[in-house]
Amino acid sequence: MKHRMSRRNVTDIPFPSLSKYLDRLTRDGLQRRLVAIEAVDGRHIRVSGRDLVDFSSNDYLGLSGHPALRHGALAAMDTWGTGARASRLMSGGLGIHLQLESAVKSLKDSQDALIFGSGYLAAIGIIPALCGRGDCVFMDRLSHASIVDGVLLSKARFFRFHHNDMEHLETLLGRYRGHYRNALIITESLFSMDGDMAPLEDLIYLKYKHDAMLMVDEAHATGIFGRHGEGLVTRKLAADVDIMIGTFGKAFAGYGAFAAITSVLKEFLVNRCRSLIFSTALPPPVVGANLAALELSSRESWHRERLKDSFARFGQLLRQYTGIDINCNSQIIPVIIGGNKEALTIEKNLFEMGFMVKAVRPPTVPPNTARLRISLSSAHTSEDLERLAKGIARSLKDTMGPRPSCLSKDPAA
Ligand code: PMP
């Protein structure tokens, strides 16, 4: 068959269904748009000429822009240049990558560590390296898209257990595990859209009972929880978790990810993990900033302490002003609205009041659970928190009436 170059204008949409699809998204309040942030200054951002207090980023420790991280990036660039020039297995494996892996080993107290281009790349590389046809995966049904994509790529048979429901997981393991060769259980430790935590000790118990491996994604817990910022898989639990993933792009205000693992698993992944083998290594300035962030976070635990005070305080403020009891045990606070359009209206109202708070909608969260995802940072002041709590209370009332019935007490319920 001959292929001819199309004479279409480049602005034409090649398939009519694309525009129909986009129209449908708009109609259902599900369209997504890229936002151009014009300036970033600590906890403030400027969008469309308006200065906003940002409650939507994952810069939980307020380290983005910190002089120590800038200096780390510049020093690494002076020594190693701007790019890694190749994948680590070609000629991109630099000394500074090994330095970062050593720092991760100290943070996690793990036998070894392997760094990745991003958390997404870590998940879509590690899961298919470990599992394939004939194996099975049991994942929490609220697991992040990178985990879902990794599992789909692996071609392993997979089962999704109800969120944090260990009885359901045990039932699935009992029923299906025996039919497959290897089994992998996957969860997040702190859930990115719900701010609640996995029952790690129970997962460890089930992993041993059913002869499975356990992988825990600590993207949002790393830097925040644990005495040294190691995450919710504390040093006491670390030896029982086979793969701990952490990211540098959130609390550490950089980019990239790591897996804290045994040396033999590292060697295995170096030989089998496609997202590591076939992708350029992290650029030196990014690695330099990541190193500086790890160092700073272990030295200055007050960032963590301040953040913890903030989420406890914000829980009280929300109760006081909205009358609802929302899960505020972490820096991620979901205010479940339900409808997509209502969530977008509240997002817009809050923007007008000077806040950037994102309405998170399906498919990022399950249908009918659109929510405001409030993301606290240690850089927020108590005045920021108070103003936001009042703003949410006002906007909820204006949009949904005096007693918004869709607000769940337990967001994970
Ligand atoms: N896991 C979780 C739970 C996440 O929330 C994210 C990012 N939102 C990732 C993994 C992916 O990490 P990265 O942004 O470094 O690709």
pLDDT digits (tens, 9 = 90+) for 276-306: 999 999 999 999 999 999 999 999 999 999 9
Ligand 1 pocket, residue 373 CB under 6 Å: no
Among candidate residues 247, 272, 299, the one where a domain is terminated:
299
pLDDT score of 412: 38
Among candidate residues 284, 299, 314, the one where a domain is terminated:
299
Is residue 188 part of the annotated active site? The answer reads yes
Enumerate residues 6+ apart whose C-beta is below 8 A from 23: none
Quick one: 192 and 214 in the same domain? yes
Quick one: 377 and 264 in the same domain? no
Q: What is the DSSP code string of 116-171?
A: ES-HHHHHHHHHHHH--TT-EEEEETT--HHHHHHHHHHT-EEEEEPTT-HHHHHH
Specify if 164 maps to a domain: yes
Pocket test for ligand 1, best of 143, 191, 192, 332 (most atoms within 8 A of CB): 192
Is residue 144 part of the annotated active site? The answer reads yes
Quick one: 165 and 306 in the same domain? no
Ligand 1 pocket, residue 217 CB under 6 Å: yes
Among candidate residues 257, 275, 299, the one where a domain is terminated:
299
By residue count, the chain amounts to 413
Specify if 410 maps to a domain: no
What is the domain-level CATH number for residue 347?
3.90.1150.10
Quick one: 92 and 110 in the same domain? yes
Q: What's the whole-model pTM score? A: 0.93
Specify if 8 maps to a domain: no
- Asked whether the beta carbons of 182 and 193 are under 8 A apart, the reply is no
Specify if 336 maps to a domain: yes
Quick one: 341 and 228 in the same domain? no
Quick one: 257 and 360 in the same domain? no
pLDDT score of 1: 42
Enumerate residues 6+ apart whose C-beta is below 8 A from 103: 291, 294, 295
Q: Which atom of ligand 1 is nearest to the CA of 188?
A: 3
Quick one: 243 and 114 in the same domain? yes
What is the domain-level CATH number for residue 216?
3.40.640.10
Measured in Å, residue 189 CA sits from the centre of ligand 1 at 12
Which residues is 44 bridged to in the sheet? 41, 53
pLDDT score of 2: 44
Specify if 409 maps to a domain: no
Q: What is the DSSP code string of 282-309?
A: PPHHHHHHHHHHHHHHHH-THHHHHHHH
Quick one: 337 and 200 in the same domain? no
Is residue 58 part of the annotated active site? The answer reads yes
Is residue 217 part of the annotated active site? The answer reads yes
The per-residue b/e assignment along 99-131, b for 16 or more CB within 10 angstroms, e otherwise, is: ebbebbbebbebebbbbbbbbbbbbbbbbbbbb
Quick one: 260 and 156 in the same domain? yes
Specify if 18 maps to a domain: no
pLDDT score of 403: 59
Quick one: 348 and 378 in the same domain? yes
Specify if 169 maps to a domain: yes
Quick one: 321 and 246 in the same domain? no
Residue span of the structural domain in which 394 resides: 28-57+301-400
Q: Write out residues in the chain with pLDDT < 50, as ranges.
A: 1-6, 9-11, 408-413
Specify if 333 maps to a domain: yes
pLDDT score of 413: 35
Ligand 1 pocket, residue 188 CB under 6 Å: yes
Instruction: Tell me how many domains the chain contains.
Output: 2
Pocket test for ligand 1, best of 57, 163, 197, 247 (most atoms within 8 A of CB): 247
Quick one: 311 and 184 in the same domain? no
pLDDT score of 326: 85
